[in-house]
Amino acid sequence: MARRKDLLKEYKDKRDFEKTPEPSGGKGPPPPAKSPERFFCVQKHLASQLHYDFRLEHNGVLLSWAVPKGPSLNPKDKRLAMQVEDHPLEYGQFEGVIPEGYGAGIVMLWDTGTWEPDDESICIDDALKKGQLKFQLHGYKLKGSWVLIRTKGPMRGQGSDKPSWLLIKHKDFWSGPVDVTAAAPRSVKTDRELAEILAAEEPDVWPGQRPAEGRVAGKALREVMLEAGQIRRRP
Ligand code: MN
């Protein structure tokens, strides 16, 4: 019998599951659910860069994009969304600290819910291939109509073979000028901020090199570590 292609090979290749608390993804994705309910989530991820991982369930995996500035409810904002490797469905419940290796840092489950294409009669794979997917989100924080639009090829200098997209909110009842990442900063799973997630871990999770040093992410991580009581403010 021919071996089914492991759709999560790239995900697994990047990680050492002895060293990360992230889900291992098991033997591969189960067959697509019959239910029209498709899961989506957004994970705030303070790693070497601060970003929000936007994930849509499709064919038994989570299609994934890293959005450096996070989603915006303002239709004027076109948020860069860099496509990354597909993640296992179980990843959609993950929140915690990745002590080392790929993605080392803190992960917060920032929003969850279900999604559906605007037009249920379209083929999602075709829409993705064409580079435009219009969809509805039914989350705690993100709702209403959105679109993902692929821009030209992979980003230069990103060392990635995956293309870049733009994540844009359509004008509707749920759009507006509010900065949703600032207005609703907590986990929808545990109501925690990043520092509280980190504080729940061993105090010496990063005794040596931190996942982020300097710049925006380094400063953000330092603040989170101070708040979590892992380091002390210099006198
Ligand atoms: Mn990430």
Distance 132 CA to ligand 1 centre (A): 22
What is the per-residue pLDDT across 143-196, written as a single tens digit (0 to 9) for each? 999 999 999 665 544 555 678 999 999 999 999 999 999 999 999 999 999 999
What is the per-residue pLDDT across 85-110, written as a single tens digit (0 to 9) for each? 999 999 999 999 999 889 999 999 99
Tell me, rounded to whole angstroms, the distance of Cα 98 from its chain centroid.
Answer: 14
Distance 32 CA to ligand 1 centre (A): 24
| Banded model confidence at residue 34, pLDDT cuts 50, 70, 90 | low
Asked if 29 and 59 count as a contact pair (C-beta separation under 8 A), the reply is yes
Residues less than 5 Å from ion ligand 1, measured at CB: 45, 53
* Residue 167 DSSP code: E
| Residues 60-77, mean pLDDT to the nearest whole number | 97
Asked if 63 and 86 count as a contact pair (C-beta separation under 8 A), the reply is yes
The answer to whether the pTM exceeds 0.95 is: no
Residue 204 has pLDDT above 80, yes or no: no
Distance 188 CA to ligand 1 centre (A): 17
Distance 101 CA to ligand 1 centre (A): 12
